[in-house]
Each structure stands twice: as structure tokens, then as C-alpha cells.
Structure 1
């Protein structure tokens, strides 16, 4: 799965590098919510949304990072729960489970992800 995410994020095309139909199905799972400094996509994983908890993925070296957030939609507050870095074979390389509030910035990748999540659960004002 890490390889599929990496290809989607770095290429923007579900069919890059001869990947084929299996990854094309995953393309609908991930919504691009921003880009990193190198121009790689940062994506929201729509299948892992649970209530107001969601995950963003992006390229990190030759692997992938996964950041888990929890949104407080009514208060426009955002909390980081976990950051994990996976290698190219999907192995967990690093994990930081330090939790804490981060500033809500509507134009940032976490902010755009929060907007999608809050709209999905029907919170007014989003």
C-alpha cells in the first residue's frame, strides 16, 4: 500500500510507472489537500476518516509519512495525534505519538482536510 500511495502522491497519475487498475481504484480514496515544498501532493485518506479523526499522507524521502489529526469542528481547533514515517517497503521507520494542538490554518493541508471532514459529518458553518 505504501508504494501505491507514494506513486499517487508523487506522480498525480494513478497509472504512473505501469501500476494499473488496482491503484486507479485507490485514486478515488485519496483527495489531494495540498503540496509539500518539492511539489509532491499531500493527500487525505477518505477511507480512514472516523468521526473527526483523519489521516494525511505525503512523500518523505523514498517512503511516505502519515499524520493523524483530530478536528474540533465547532471550535475550529485542530490536534495532531501521531506522525509515522514508512519506508519504501511499508516498514515503520519512525513514530511520534506526541499529541498536541496545532494552529488551524484553512489554506494548509491539515486545514483543508479538516474542512472536508467537518463537511462530511454535517457540522454547520463548514
Structure 2
């Protein structure tokens, strides 16, 4: 009863599993979903940029729901943050309330998703900040 689960995800990822919010609310599971929202399928966009000469296809998620209203519609609480201070306040509030919550963190559309393992490479060959081994 004293624990809270925290899930880090992207905006594209949460859209594929958004129905699970209903299960969490129904079962009274205190899950905090932290969405890193760049309005893109960020990792796919990054692959297309780095390995496919910036040929972007089907990665733009500009037309998406209001995540704060969406979690509230499921019966949880929502926060939208743009600064570390706002994030800290939202996280502390959500942890205190111990209910289903969603913290939408607005990030730059072109923020890199790192570390990243290029296709055909092993985990020990992952790309870190500034690497481009291809």
C-alpha cells in the first residue's frame, strides 16, 4: 500500500496502450505514467534521420489528444510540465496522492533518443550522445 509504480514512456508508445489507464483506475493501482512528449514517434524519426537520409515517413504525432484531459476522463489525475521545477512538483504531488496519474513532459521535437542500438549491432555497440558509427 505504500508503493507507487512509475512508467516512463513516449507519446507514441502510450497511445498504443492508453486503454490500460482504465485497468489501473478500476483496480486502484497507483501508477504514474511519465510521458516524454515530442509530438513524434521519436525513435522511429531518429532512425529515419540517422540511417535513411532524413526520409521521414509516418512519424509526426502533432494531431494527438490532450493527455491531461484524457487521463482525467479515465478517472486519474494529469499534469503538463515544461521545466524541472514543474516536474518535481508534479511528481511529488502524484506520489503523495497514490492514484493513477500522468505527467506529460513537453520536450523538443528533435530531442535525441539515447542510448540507441543501431540495426544489426549488439548492446555493447550502442550509440551514445554525439556518436554516429554508421
TM-score between the two structures when normalised by the length of structure 1: 0.25
**Which has a greater percent of strand?**
1
Larger Rg: 2
Q: Which of the pair has the greater relative contact order for Cα pairs under 8 Å at 6+ separation?
A: 2
Structure-2-length-normalised TM-score: 0.24
Structure with the largest fraction of helix: 2
